[in-house]
Each structure stands twice: as structure tokens, then as C-alpha cells.
């Protein structure tokens, strides 16, 4: 796991590199935001958790291969056609977010003491702190539901050995 101080330093260095460039390209900026500038997709542990076919079952339509997201701390699978997608993000626990004031927010103590599920931009998100990591998933598409988000979260935890 990347330590928070190391992660911050890497992010700051990457941002500084682009900021100091005379004319940063859109590709350079995108590389930082997705994480491509810091982590090869093949080395992204979240992308290795699921195949496209497995994620398609949560989304409800075929998806492309997982790609870096969230500065390399997440992986996103986007629908081949349509607007569905899924994302798995793992960050240090001190960055945990619990949108308790969001409409539809629900605690799910069966998954963990701070686990939750919440409607989110045309889909659903679920998250929980496990040890020193905060794990969050989101899913949107024809099969997106409270249940599919929780199922995806539980499966991520299982595959991570948590």
C-alpha cells in the first residue's frame, strides 16, 4: 500500500512537472488525473481484481478493459455502448468519505461498522474502511442498484482478502 506521505509527494511532483511545463498538453494533464503518469494500468491492483466480463454483470452491459482512475488509486470500467460504468478505488483510511447527508444514504453494518451505500449520479456507490484502507465502489448502468453496489463492494473485499 502507498503511504499517505509518499502518495502526496508523488502527486505533488507530478503536478509540479506539468505546472512547470511551458505548455502542458491535455494528454499530460489527463495522465496525472487518471494515474497513467504514475501507475501502469497493468500494475494497478484494482484493475487486476476483475475482468471486463465480471464487471459487466454489475453494470448490466459490456464494458471496456479497466483503466486507471483516481490518480492511479482506482480503476474504472466504461460501457462499450451506453453510459454505464463501474469504479473501484482504494485509498488510505484517513481519506475515507461518508456522505451521511446525501439523500438516500444508508449504513450497512453487516459489511463493516462504517459501511454505507448511497445513490450517486445515475447509479450507486458503497464504501467501507477496512484496516488502513478505505474501499469505495460505484456502479451505473441498467443493472446498477443498491444491491449491485453492495455486492461489488463485498466481492472487492473478498478478493483483497479482507
**pLDDT digit string, tens, across residues 79-114:** 999 889 999 999 999 999 999 999 999 999 999 999
**Would you say residue 148 lies in a domain?**
yes
- So what's the pLDDT on residue 100? 96
In CATH, what number is assigned to the domain containing residue 103?
Answer: 3.40.1000
Residue 159, SS3? helix
For residue 126, being part of any structural domain is answered with yes
Is 1 among the domain residues?
Answer: no
Tens digit of each residue's pLDDT (9 = 90 or more) over 39-88 = 455 578 999 999 999 999 999 999 999 999 987 899 999 999 988 999 99
Tell me if 46 is assigned to some domain.
yes
Whether residue 63 is contained in a domain is answered as: yes
Residue 79 lies in a domain: yes
7 found inside a domain: no
Query: What span, in angstroms and rounded, lies between the C-alpha atoms of 19 and 31?
Result: 13
Buried b (16+ CB within 10 A) or exposed e, 23-57: eeeeeeeebbebbbbbbebeebebbebbeeeebbe
| Per-residue pLDDT at 2 | 42
Question: How confident is the prediction for the chain on average, in pLDDT?
Answer: 83
Confirm whether 27 is domain-assigned.
no
Residue 33: its pLDDT value, please?
44
Residue ranges making up the domain that contains 81: 41-159
Rounded percentage of the chain residues whose pLDDT exceeds 90: 67
Residue 22 has pLDDT above 60, yes or no: no
Q: How many CB atoms lie within 10 A of CB 105?
A: 14
The count of domains in the chain is 1
Amino acid at each position: 500500500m502507498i503511504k499517505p506521505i509518499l502518495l502526496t509527494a508523488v502527486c505533488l511532483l507530478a503536478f509540479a512537472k506539468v505546472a512547470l511545463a511551458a505548455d502542458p498538453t491535455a494528454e499530460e494533464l489527463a495522465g496525472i488525473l487518471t494515474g497513467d503518469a504514475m501507475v501502469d494500468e497493468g500494475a494497478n491492483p484494482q484493475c487486476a481484481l476483475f475482468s471486463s466480463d465480471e464487471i459487466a454483470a454489475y453494470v448490466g452491459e459490456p464494458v471496456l478493459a479497466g483503466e486507471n482512475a483516481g490518480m492511479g488509486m482506482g480503476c474504472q470500467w466504461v460501457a462499450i455502448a451506453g453510459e454505464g460504468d463501474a469504479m473501484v478505488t482504494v485509498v488510505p483510511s484517513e481519506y475515507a468519505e461518508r456522505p451521511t447527508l446525501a439523500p438516500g444514504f444508508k449504513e450497512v453494518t453487516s459489511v463493516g461498522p462504517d459501511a454505507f451505500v448511497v445513490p450517486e449520479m445515475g447509479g450507486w456507490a458503497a464504501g467501507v474502511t477496512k484496516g488502513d484502507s478505505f474501499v469505495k465502489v460505484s456502479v451505473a448502468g441498467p443493472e446498477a442498484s443498491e444491491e449491485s453496489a453492495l455486492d461489488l463492494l463485498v466481492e472487492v473485499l473478498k478478493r483483497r482478502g479482507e
